[in-house]
Chains A and B, each alone.
Chain A
Amino acid sequence: MRADVFRLIAGITLALWLVLPLVPLAIWSFAHGWRFPDILPRDWSLKAWAYAFSPTSGVVGSLGLTLFIAAATTVLAALVGVPAGRALGLHAFRGKAIVTLVLLAPAIVPGIAVALGLHGVFLRLGLTGTVSGVILAHLIPVIPYMTLIMASVFSSFDTTYEDQARSLGARPHQVFIHVTLPAILPGLMIGALFAFLVSWSQYLLTLSIGGGRVQTLPLTLFTFASSGRNDVTGAIAMIYILPGLLVLLLTARHLTGRNAALTPRVAP
C-alpha cells in the first residue's frame, strides 16, 4: 500500500514536471501584462494571438515554411535512408562498422561544429540564404536517424516474401509497393517522425545557413523572446509545439504497444 502511494506521488510529480514549463508560456499568450507578484495576469487579451495570426507577423508563413522544410527533409532522407538502411539491416559486408560510424557521426557531432564550415561551403555554392540550402543542411543530422532506424526495421524483415512475389512475376516496383513497403511502413513512420522532429527543432543550422532569409518558427520565436514580448513569444511557442503533437498523435499507433522500431535494441 505504501509503495502504491509512493508510486502515485512520484508519478504525479513526474507528470507535473513534464508539463510545467509549458504552463507559463500558455498563460503568457493570453496575458496583457503579467507583473510580479501576480500569480495570474490581471488583464487577459487575445492580441498576442491576433498578432501571431496577422499577415504582418509572418508567423503563419513561417509555420508553412517550417513544415515544408521538415517535410522535404523527411522525404529526401527517406529516399536515401531506406536503401542504406536495407543494406545495413539485411547484409553483412566488409567495412560495415566503418560505414555505420560514418552514418552515425553526423547525428551525434554537435551542429555548431558543422555549421561554421558548412556556411563556407554553401557560400561558394550560392546556397546560403536559400530554402534549398537549409533543407540540405538539415539532412546532415536527419539522414543518420532515418538510416539507422530503417536498418533496425530491415534487420527483422523477411526477404522471402519479396522472392515469392518476384517468382510470381511481379516487377521490382510492384514488389516494393505491394510487399516491401507495407512491411516496413510502421518503422518508416517512426523514422519519418524523428526525421521530421529533428528538422522541425533546428535552430543553429537554419540561422547560419539561412542567414535570416529563411525564417523558420524557431527564429521568429527567438526574435520575440529576445525582445521581451513574452505574450507574443507564448503564442508562437504554442503554435510551434502543435504540429509535433499532431504528428505524435498520428503515429501514436506505431509508437505504443511494444514500441516497435522505437525500441533501441542495444542489449541482447
Chain B
Amino acid sequence: MLRSLAAFLLLSTAAVADTADGEALKGLTWDQVVEQARGGTVNWFMWGGADNINQYVSDHIGGILKRDHGITLNRIGVADAVEVVNIVLSEKEAGVTDAGTVDLIWINGENFRSMKQADLAFCGYTDLLPNNLLVNWDNPAISNDFGVPVDGCEVPWNTVQFAFAHDSAVLPEPPRSMADLLDWIKANPGQFTYPAPPDFTGSVFVRHVFYHAAGGADALLGPFDQARFDDAAAKTWAILNEIEPFLWREGQTYPNTIVQMNELFANGEVAFTFNYDPAQFGLAVQAGIYPESTRSFGLTDGTIGNTNYTLIPFNSPNKAAAMVVQNLLLSGEAQLEKAKPEVWGASPAIEISRTAADVQAGFAAIEGHASVVSAEELAKAALPELQADWLTAIEAGWKANVGN
C-alpha cells in the first residue's frame, strides 16, 4: 500500500539529465562537460539569510545559466550549512550513491573537514574548469580550508577577513589592538560580548584572544600540539574570565548566535559587533538595520582571514551542471559583479591580475561601502586560520572553562 502509493506519488519527480558518474566526467573535455550539463538542474544549498546574496545568485547567476547553458539553478536557502552535510551523510548511510538531493554546497571550515573525512565530496575535477586558471592555488590560504588541504574537492568563491564594526556617532575612536580592546571592555562595563562558541563567529573571536595570549599565531600553526595548546589555553581562559564580569549581562549569559549579537549592536546594547565577512556590515546598513554611521576596522595585531568555497557532493546526479555553475562563479565577470557593494561587496577568490583588462578596470573602479573596511586595509595585518583540530579543542575548552 505504502510502496505503491509512494511509487505513484514519485512519478512527478523523475530526473532529467543524469551525470552522477563523476569518474566518467573527468575523462571528458570541458566542451563535452558543458554539452552534458545542458538542460540540467542544480540544487544549490546555501545559507539563505541575506536578500542581496540571494538576488545575486538567483537572478544574476541563475539568469546567465539559463540563457547560456539551459541550466536551471535552484537555490535552496538553509539556516546552517551543517544541515546540508547531514543530508549527504544520511544519504550515504542509506546507500544513496547516485541520486542525492544536493548538487552544490556553499561551505568551508569544519563542515568541509566533515565532508572530506567521510568521503562525501566529489574530488579531483577542478583542473577541468577553464576559470580554475584564475585561482592562485599557490596561496596556502586558498589551497587549505582551515588547515585542511583542499585537494581539488572544492572551488574557492570568496575570501573574507574578520573585522569589527562600531557606531562612529557613539564611539568615534574604537580600540585598535586586542590589548586596547581588553582594556576598553574593562573600562566600559556591559557594552561588549561575543556569541558563545561553537557559534562560527564567536569561535573566531575567541581564537583572536587565543592568538593574543599565545603571543602570535606562529607557534600555533601546523598540526594540533597538546603542550602548546595547554600553555596558550590557560592564558586565554584567564583573560576571558577576567573580562567576563564586564561583559553584557555581567557575562552570566552569552548570545547564542552572531545574529543575536547583531541585534544587540543594532539596538545600541553593545558597542561592537564583528563578522568574518565585513561586507555584511554594508548590507546591514543598506537594509536599515545598522545606523549609517557604522564603521568597521581590523586590529593592528591582525585579524584572521579565510576562504569559502563551493563543493559538489559525491552523490550529486547533476555533477556536470554543477561544474558549469562553479566555473561561472569563478569568472572575472561574476566575481566583479558580487564585489560591487550594492550587490554584495564580497572580496574575490581569484587573482584580479589574471582577468581580462575590462574586468580589472571594473575592480579598480569599485568604491567600497563607507561602512565596510577595505580588503586592502585589512590585508595589511592578516592572520592565518588554525587547523580544524585546534578549533575543536578551543571550542570545547571555552565551554568547560569560560561558558559554564
Given A56-B59, A213-B101, A223-B48, are A125 and B6 also a contact pair (CB < 8 Å)? yes
B51 part of interface (Cβ distance < 8 Å): yes
Q: CB within 8 Å of B: which of A1-40?
A: 31-36
Q: Are B76 and A213 in contact (CB under 8 A)?
A: yes
Residue A123, interface by CB 8 Å = yes
Is the CB of A135 closer than 8 A to any CB of chain B? yes
Contact with A along B51-64 (1 / 0, CB 8 A): 10011001100000
- The answer on a CB contact under 8 Å between A56 and B13 is no
Report the minimal beta-carbon distance from B245 to chain A, rounded to whole angstroms: 24
CB distance from B231 to the nearest CB of A (A): 37
- Give the chain B neighbours of A130 by CB distance below 8 A: 9-10, 13
Chain A residues whose C-beta falls within 8 Å of the C-beta of B99 in the assembled complex: 126
Cβ A35 vs Cβ B55 within 8 A: no
Q: Would A56 and B288 count as touching, CB distance under 8 A?
A: no
Nearest-CB distance from A121 to chain B (Å)? 9
Give the residue among B51, B87, B91, B267 with the most A Cβ atoms within 10 A: B51
- The distance in angstroms between the C-alpha atoms of A58 and B77, with both chains bound, is 10
B181 in contact (CB, < 8 A) = no
| Residue A161 at the chain B interface, CB threshold 8 Å | no
User: Would you call A35 and B3 a contact (CB within 8 A)?
Assistant: no
Per the 8 Å Cβ criterion, residues 188-245 of B in contact with A are none
* Residue A49 CB within 8 A of the other chain: no
Task: Please tell me if the beta carbons of A226 and B51 are within 8 angstroms of each other in the complex.
Answer: no
Complex Cα gap A229–B284 (Å): 9
Q: Is B83's beta carbon under 8 Å from chain A?
A: yes
- Chain B residues with Cβ below 8 Å from A45 are 288
Contacts of B49 in A (CB 8 A): 223-224, 226-229
- Within 8 Å by CB of A123, from B76, B94, B269, lies B94
In the bound complex, CA of A131 to CA of B51 (Å): 25
Contact with A along B64-83 (1 / 0, CB 8 A): 00000000000111110001
Partner of B50, one of A43, A222, A227: A227
Query: Taking the complex as formed, is B257 at the interface, i.e. its CB lies under 8 A from any CB of chain A?
Result: yes
> Of all chain A residues, which has the CB nearest B50?
A227
Q: Which of A123, A223, A229 contacts B79 (CB 8 A)?
A: A223
CB under 8 Å from chain A, chain B span 7-22: 9-10, 12-13
The complex places the Cα of A229 from the Cα of B91 at a distance, in Å, of: 32
Q: Which residues of B contact A212 (CB under 8 A)?
A: 45, 76-78, 83-84, 87, 101
Kindly identify which residue among B13, B83, B94 contacts A132, using a CB–CB cutoff of 8 Å. B13
List B residues 78-106 near A (Cβ within 8 Å): 78-79, 83-84, 87, 90-91, 93-94, 96, 99, 101
Q: Which of B138-146, B258-266, B304-312, B371-379 contacts A (4 or more CB under 8 A)?
A: B258-266
A227 to B289, CA, bound (A): 12
B51 A51 Cβ-Cβ under 8 A: yes
- Across-interface contacts of B289 in A (CB, < 8 A): 33, 228-230
Residues of the B chain whose Cβ atoms lie less than 8 Å from the Cβ of A36: 267-269
B residues within 8 A CB of A226? 49, 79, 257, 259
| CB–CB B6/A129 < 8 A | no
Residue B318, interface by CB 8 Å = no
Tell me if A254 is interfacial: C-beta within 8 Å of chain B.
Answer: no
In the complex, which residues of chain B have a beta carbon less than 8 angstroms from the beta carbon of A180? none
Distance in angstroms from A125 CB to nearest chain B CB is: 6
Residues of A within 8 A of B108 (CB): none
Identify the closest chain A residue to B13 (Cβ): A130
Judging by beta carbons under 8 Å apart, are A222 and B79 in contact? yes
For A223, give its contact among B3, B77, B288 (CB under 8 Å).
B77
- Inter-chain contacts of B3 with A (CB < 8 A): 125
B345 at the interface (CB under 8 A from A): no
B40 contacts A by Cβ under 8 Å: no
- Which A-chain residue is minimally distant from B47 (CB atoms)? A227
Q: Which residue of A lies closest to B95 (CB)?
A: A124
The answer to whether the Cβ of B347 comes within 8 Å of any Cβ in the partner chain is no
| Docked complex Cα distance between A215 and B263 (Å) | 26
Please name all residues of chain A whose beta carbon is closer than 8 Å to the beta carbon of B54 when the two chains form the complex: 56-57
B50, B83, B288: the one contacting A31 at CB < 8 Å is: B288
Complex interface: chain B residues within 8 A of A31 (CB): 288
Output the least CB separation between A237 and chain B (Å).
Answer: 15
Nearest B residue to A232 via CB reads: B51
Question: Cα distance A35–B2 when bound, in Å?
Answer: 52
| Contacting pair A213 B43 (CB below 8 A) | yes
Task: Kindly list chain A residues whose C-beta atoms are within 8 Å of the C-beta of B43.
Answer: 213
- Contact of B6 with A127 in the complex, beta carbons under 8 Å: yes
Q: What residues of B have a CB within 8 angstroms of the CB of A124 in the complex? A: 94
Is B356 in the interface zone, CB < 8 Å from A? Answer: no
Q: Are A132 and B9 in contact (CB under 8 A)?
A: yes
A145-199: which have CB < 8 Å to B? none
Contact between A33 and B6 (Cβ–Cβ < 8 Å)?
A: no
Task: Tell me, yes or no, whether B287 is within 8 Å of chain A by CB.
Answer: yes
A31 to B266, CA, bound (A): 14
A-contacting residues of B (Cβ < 8 Å)? 2-3, 5-6, 9-10, 12-13, 43, 45, 47-51, 54-55, 58-59, 75-79, 83-84, 87, 90-91, 93-94, 96, 99, 101, 257, 259, 262-263, 266-269, 284, 287-291
Q: List 7 A-B contacts (CB under 8 A).
A: A36-B269, A57-B51, A126-B99, A129-B101, A212-B78, A228-B262, A228-B263
Interface residues of A (CB under 8 A from B): 31-36, 43, 45, 51, 54-58, 119-120, 123-132, 135-136, 211-213, 215, 220, 222-224, 226-232
- 9 interchain residue pairs of minimum CB distance: A227-B49, A33-B288, A132-B9, A36-B267, A123-B94, A129-B101, A32-B288, A228-B259, A56-B58
